[in-house]
């Protein structure tokens, strides 16, 4: 089944999923070994080239590289083309992936899909990332009833899709 990663606790059993077919949220968290990334979302990662999109910022429109990601509400510290480090941290909506980074990711994902599927089928580029979940292993850990991760603190909550097979 296709699902979107909505929470990543960055531990041994990090992933909580929202299933695309019916919009339901998984009752359990899944192990890293149970999921396989099929296509990555647009959230910048360490080393990615980004373009600053913050009106009034002296670097608005400039390219920079993500050098720190605190995975909080204002996660990104950047290194500008002149090697200067940003004095402020940028919010996710204040940076966007550079065209070069988007192209590199698309090429990497195409190669990965071909290796996984053994075919040359090009998927729709508008689809968010996907993960395949390995059958035979129960997720085990359930979230507490009041537990929900804020989207800003959730790696992969930018619409990464995953695929889950029934156990």
Contacts of 162 (CB under 8 A, 6+ apart): 2, 3, 4, 5, 15, 17, 35, 37, 38, 129, 130, 131, 132, 133
Confidence class for position 141, pLDDT limits 50, 70, 90: low
For residue 137, what pLDDT band results from cuts at 50, 70 and 90? low
Structural domain count of the chain: 2
Residues 55 and 93 in one domain: yes
Same domain assignment for residues 97 and 62:
yes
Q: Are residues 71 and 93 in the same domain?
A: yes
**CB-count burial class (<10 Å; 0-12, 13-18, 19+) for 93:** exposed
- What pLDDT is recorded for position 51? 98
**pLDDT for 107-123, tens place per residue?**
888 887 777 676 544 44
Q: Is residue 24 part of a domain?
A: yes
Q: What integer pLDDT is reported at residue 125 of this predicted model?
A: 45
Contacts of 167 by beta carbon, 8 Å cutoff, 6+ apart: 135, 136, 137, 138
Radius of gyration of the chain (CA): 17
Q: What is the CATH number of the domain that holds 93?
A: 2.30.30.40
User: Which pLDDT score is estimated for 153?
Assistant: 43
- Give the residue numbers spanning the domain of 64: 49-102
Q: Is residue 122 part of a domain?
A: no
Cα–Cα–Cα angle for 13, 8, 163, nearest 5°?
Answer: 80
* Same structural domain, 57 and 93: yes
Cα separation, 11 vs 97, in Å, equals 26
**Is there a domain that residue 123 lies in?**
no
């Amino acid at each position: 089944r296709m699902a979107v990663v909505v929470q990543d606790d960055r531990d041994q059993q990090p992933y909580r999923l929202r299933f695309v077919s019916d919009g339901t949220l998984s009752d359990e968290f899944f192990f890293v070994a149970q999921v396989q990334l099929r296509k990555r979302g647009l959230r910048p990662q360490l080393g990615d080239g980004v373009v600053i999109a913050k009106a009034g910022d002296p670097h608005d429109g400039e390219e920079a590289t993500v050098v720190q990601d605190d995975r909080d509400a204002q996660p990104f510290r950047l290194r500008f083309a002149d090697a200067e480090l940003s004095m402020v941290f940028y919010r996710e909506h204040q940076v966007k992936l550079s065209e070069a980074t988007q192209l590199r990711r698309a090429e990497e994902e195409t190669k990965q899909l071909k290796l996984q599927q053994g075919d040359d089928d090009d998927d729709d580029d508008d689809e968010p990332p996907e993960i395949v979940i390995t059958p035979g292993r129960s997720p085990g850990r359930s979230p507490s009833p009041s537990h929900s991760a804020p989207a800003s603190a959730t790696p992969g909550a930018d619409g990464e899709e995953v695929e889950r097979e029934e156990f």
